[in-house]
Amino acid sequence: MPSEVQVEVMDTSSAEDFVIDLLRRSGRMTTMEIEVHARKQHKRCPDQTVLFLTKMRKKGLIKGEASLELRGWVWWVP
């Protein structure tokens, strides 16, 4: 019987660092792509991902815009 993997709910500072590092390495990413990448590392943002990323955008840590083509938000490091 496989053991269940624990998901780490990151604190705000750790989550901000995680997102900034990910976007620096990967370039522009959608909300879903960021969520999938975090899930693969058994991590989760303190809020719903889109709300957390919006807070980061309002702080000026990242940039973001709605994309009709990708049907969601796209995020990047300024």
pLDDT digits (tens, 9 = 90+) for 22-52: 999 999 999 999 999 999 999 998 889 999 9
Q: How far is CA 56 from CA 1, 43, 72, in A?
A: 40, 17, 17
Mean pLDDT, rounded, of the chain: 93
The residue that leads in pLDDT, 69 or 2, is 69
The residue that leads in pLDDT, 8 or 18, is 18
Q: Output the pTM of the full model.
A: 0.88
Residue 3's pLDDT band (boundaries 50, 70, 90)? low
Topology given in CATH for the domain delimited by 10-76:
Arc Repressor Mutant, subunit A (1.10.10)
Residue 7's pLDDT band (boundaries 50, 70, 90)? confident
